[in-house]
């Protein structure tokens, strides 16, 4: 399911997109802000996370400019008491051969106390710029093949996220407007090449199990689904175009962690990291994917690095009055 973008983007004007159009990350359990706008501020304190990923390390195209996909994403979020929730931002840059995508999201989440945790209801607005470089069409002057063109569009998303000390779970959908991007071709500047940003949905969950006084084990899962076509089309919500990830990690003394994961139809993942600085606010993580399935036309490994900083919990803006009976007479 991992983005066969150069094919999908050319054909999506005639056929529904059948591949995931958005980046994936092995550190999904550490970066809910990328997946869901309702995550913003839900933990009661802000954080900033930077992820860098190189997929299929060592892969090079047999001709022209090609090579492995490279992605970087920066997310930040914080609770805002005056708004009754939180705010968040996500920016990513995705580069695959002649295709480059720059994407920005602004999110707001309304927080509601539910049981022992909090429920966030979130919305987001997004802006994407898509650039296509030079391609060699099979047929000269093919009006469906872009040529050094770019386009930008606004879109929207929504989601819900529940967070407690032991459990988190989130469901989100983006590209609600299903924007269509159009590009110039070699035929003068005619914008006859195009693709549509299909609706994507994410379902994720994790549960913290206290294995001992110093060890917490966290199973996680992520289900990704693409819903191609217009609302009302047959088989729009057939769930035929989906993939999933599952994993488990162990955290020691709230400082060190390590884990294993599985991505359907593609890879096995090993990840580990360390927290340090005051209150273990700084985190550094590394994930390595071994491409164990469907290895055709791929290199055998992918690498991902995470840097994260957790902001201090916000204090009271005004100190509470100190009551004393000294002057009550």
Looking at residue 88, which CATH number applies to its domain?
2.40.160
Q: What does the pLDDT read at residue 324?
A: 55
Answer yes or no: is 329 within a domain: no
Range of the domain at 215: 5-310
Asked whether residue 171 is domain-assigned, the answer is yes
Per-residue pLDDT of the chain (329 residues; tens, 9 = 90+): 334 333 333 333 333 334 557 889 999 999 999 999 999 999 999 999 999 999 888 777 666 666 788 999 999 999 999 999 999 999 999 998 888 999 999 999 999 999 999 999 999 999 999 998 888 778 777 888 888 889 999 999 999 999 999 999 999 999 999 999 998 887 766 788 888 999 999 999 999 999 999 999 999 999 999 998 888 888 888 878 889 999 999 999 999 999 999 999 889 999 999 999 999 999 999 999 998 888 776 788 999 999 999 999 876 555 555 555 554 44
For residue 81, being part of any structural domain is answered with yes
- Answer yes or no: is 77 within a domain: yes
- 325: Cβ contacts below 8 Å, ≥ 6 apart: none
In a domain, 326, yes or no: no
Q: Is residue 328 part of a domain?
A: no
Q: Does 315 map to a domain? A: no
Is position 118 within any domain? yes
The total of structural domains in the chain comes to 1
What local confidence, expressed as pLDDT, does residue 11 receive? 35
CA distance 87 to 35: 14
Q: Is 124 exposed, middle or buried (0-12, 13-18, 19+ CB in 10 A)?
A: buried
């Amino acid at each position: 399911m991992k983005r066969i973008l150069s094919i999908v983007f050319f054909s999506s004007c005639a056929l529904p997109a059948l591949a995931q159009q958005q980046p994936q990350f092995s550190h999904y359990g550490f970066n809910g802000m990328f997946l869901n706008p309702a995550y913003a501020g839900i933990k009661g304190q802000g954080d900033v996370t930077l992820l860098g990923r190189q997929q299929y390390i060592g892969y090079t195209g047999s001709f022209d400019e090609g090579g492995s996909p490279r992605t970087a994403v920066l997310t930040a979020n914080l609770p805002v008491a005056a708004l009754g929730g939180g705010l968040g931002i996500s920016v990513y840059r995705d580069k695959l051969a002649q295709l480059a995508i720059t994407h920005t999201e602004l999110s707001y989440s309304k927080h509601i106390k539910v049981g022992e945790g909090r429920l966030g209801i979130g919305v987001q607005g997004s802006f994407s710029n898509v650039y296509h470089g030079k391609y060699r069409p099979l047929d000269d002057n093919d009006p469906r093949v872009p040529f050094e063109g770019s386009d930008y569009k606004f879109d929207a998303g929504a989601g819900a996220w529940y967070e407690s000390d032991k459990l988190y779970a989130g469901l989100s959908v983006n590209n609600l407007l299903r924007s269509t991007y159009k590009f110039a071709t070699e035929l003068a500047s005619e914008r006859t090449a195009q693709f549509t940003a299909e609706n994507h949905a994410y379902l994720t969950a994790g549960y913290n199990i206290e294995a001992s006084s110093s060890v917490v084990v966290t199973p996680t899962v992520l289900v990704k689904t693409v819903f191609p076509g217009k609302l009302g089309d047959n088989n729009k919500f057939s769930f035929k175009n989906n993939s999933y990830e599952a994993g488990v990690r162990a955290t020691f003394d709230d400082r060190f962690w390590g884990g294993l994961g599985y991505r359907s139809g593609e890879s096995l993942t090993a990840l580990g990291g360390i927290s340090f600085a005051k209150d273990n606010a700084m985190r550094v993580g590394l994930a390595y994917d071994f491409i164990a399935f469907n290895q055709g036309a791929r290199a055998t490994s992918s690498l991902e690095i995470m840097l994260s900083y957790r902001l201090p919990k916000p204090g009271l803006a005004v100190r509470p009055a100190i009551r004393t009976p000294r002057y009550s007479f």
